[in-house]
Amino acid sequence: MADLQPVRGTRDIIGEDHRRHSYVIDTARRIAASYGFDEWSTPVFEDTRVFSRTLGETSDVVTKEMYTFEDRGGDSLTLRPEGTAGVCRALVTNGLTQSLPQKIFYAGPMFRYERPQKGRYRQFHQIGLELIGPSEPLADAEVIACGWDILVALGVAANTVLEINTLGDRESRDAYREALVEYLSAHRDKLSAESLSRLERNPMRILDSKDEGDRRIVAGAPTIMPFLTEQAATFYAGLKRHLTQFGVPFTENPRIVRGLDYYGHTAFEFVTKALGAQGTVLAGGRYDGLVAEMGGPPTPAVGWAAGIERLSMLLDQAPAAPPSIAVIPIGDEAEAAAIGLLQSLRGAGIRAEVSYRGNLKRRLERANRMGAKSAILLGADDIAAGIVQVKDLATGAQVAVPLAEVASRLT
């Protein structure tokens, strides 16, 4: 079976990698809970329309990246490329649109048909937050502050910069789009083919282009700021004031737009230079139109998602494997006592493992290899005397301990 490889763009998460992965999720879950977020898990696949309707027919995700297939019943299903659409679908189908605010944390796999490279996979994993209900900029600041606190707790905040922008309200955006199209049209001969195709359908995405030539044109493009309605400008000022009150450092970047079409007002990204081209680790914004697209009432909302693989790569070091105790019965007569001891250690919350076979030397070697900090040796004579030998595997020191006291000595 050696010819069977994992599918391109997927990877096994094992060993140290998995400890990083779990550490990111556990840390985020704990901090999100302290902000009052509850965890939801929605299905990994949904009716294709959950994504095609809401992510915008012109977004990269919908046009190029979705894993869409027909199931045996003939329904078109899609492996979720992101978490927000499913959470909003769940809000509507669970009848929660009148029970606001809802504060949701999630973690799980996402799927996008992309060109695999460092920090970019076809199955990847995200943690994310959605704060559904409030329309105040305090809500935007709070979800950003929670993201910041998670990055701080993971020890990666110093490696990232928070960049924020406003996409304004509909009126600001319409006025801006017109000015932007006018400017870009004057330079259409220098735009990449991809950007040209976006010029009519989704011109703001051109601001976000990675193409060098596009970037030079974009550098001279008008920003949205002078086109903001008074309301949109007030909202943005409120966001910046609250971020400062939360103590979250940020810079403004008028080029930030979100890849998905349902965003307005706040857009933000935590970016790092440490991961090469895949520099965005956590990104989000306000998406007041999405719940209505899903068939619910107009409902304000703001949230973000972060790539667990990218966060894991930024972690300074992997969390250590939990230390283990090796229990080594010497001879068949010692087995019953060994099993009794294992179960009482495990019951006391100690990670205890038995070595299954081999002579004492081999078993000690194996205990060392599995990183055990001590080994408990059970010989028939000792057991008859009610004691065991506890061997410190780092120093080799060995002491006799009454069997009944082992668990309490080790905690």
Q: Return the structure tokens found at 143.
A: 């979800």
Cβ contacts of residue 176 below 8 Å, gap of 6+? 168, 204, 222, 224, 227
CB of 301 closer than 8 Å to CB of 350: no
Asked if 160 is part of the footprint of ligand ATP (rule: CB under 6 A), the reply reads: no
Asked if 309 is part of the footprint of ligand ATP (rule: CB under 6 A), the reply reads: yes
- The minimum distance between CB 66 and ligand ATP, in angstroms, equals 12
Q: According to CB under 6 A, which one of 120, 177, 240, 373 is a site residue for ligand ATP?
A: 120
Q: According to CB under 6 A, which one of 105, 124, 176, 235 is a site residue for ligand ATP?
A: 124
Asked if 206 is part of the footprint of ligand ATP (rule: CB under 6 A), the reply reads: no
Asked if 194 is part of the footprint of ligand ATP (rule: CB under 6 A), the reply reads: no
Asked if 114 is part of the footprint of ligand ATP (rule: CB under 6 A), the reply reads: yes
Q: Give the integer Cα–Cα distance in Å for 260 and 51.
A: 10
Q: Return the structure tokens found at 112.
A: 């996008």
Asked if 82 is part of the footprint of ligand ATP (rule: CB under 6 A), the reply reads: yes
DSSP helix/strand/coil, 402: strand
Binding residues among 248-277 for ligand ATP as defined by CB under 6 A: 259
Nearer to ligand ATP, 82 or 140 (CB): 82
Cβ contacts of residue 35 below 8 Å, gap of 6+? 103, 142, 146
- The minimum distance between CB 103 and ligand ATP, in angstroms, equals 19
Q: According to CB under 6 A, which one of 59, 102, 126, 355 is a site residue for ligand ATP?
A: 126
Binding residues among 12-51 for ligand ATP as defined by CB under 6 A: none
Given the rule CB under 6 A, which of 20-28, 196-204, 293-301, 306-314 is the region that contacts ligand ATP?
A: 306-314
Report the Cα–Cα distance between both ends of the chain, in Å, rounded: 44
Cβ contacts of residue 25 below 8 Å, gap of 6+? 107, 127, 308
Bridge partners, 70 (sequence order):
76
* Binding residue count for ligand ATP, defined by CB under 6 A: 18
- The minimum distance between CB 228 and ligand ATP, in angstroms, equals 23
Q: According to CB under 6 A, which one of 62, 305, 345, 375 is a site residue for ligand ATP?
A: 305
CB of 381 closer than 8 Å to CB of 340: no
Nearer to ligand ATP, 125 or 363 (CB): 125
Among candidate residues 380, 382, 389, 404, the one with its CA nearest the CA of residue 330: 380
Nearer to ligand ATP, 271 or 375 (CB): 271
216-225 LR contacts (CB < 8 Å, sep 24+): 216/190, 217/184, 217/187, 217/190, 217/191, 218/255, 220/183, 221/180, 221/183, 221/184, 222/176, 222/179, 222/180, 222/183, 223/254, 224/165, 224/166, 224/167, 224/168, 224/172, 224/173, 224/176, 224/254, 225/254
Among candidate residues 184, 82, 66, 73, the one with its CA nearest the CA of residue 130: 82
- The minimum distance between CB 283 and ligand ATP, in angstroms, equals 4
- The minimum distance between CB 353 and ligand ATP, in angstroms, equals 34
Binding mask 94-113 for ligand ATP (x = CB under 6 A): ------------------x-
- The minimum distance between CB 307 and ligand ATP, in angstroms, equals 3
Given the rule CB under 6 A, which of 91-99, 278-286, 291-299, 318-326 is the region that contacts ligand ATP?
A: 278-286
**Residues engaged in binding ligand ATP (CB under 6 A):** 82, 112, 114, 119-121, 124, 126, 259, 278, 280-281, 283, 305-307, 309-310
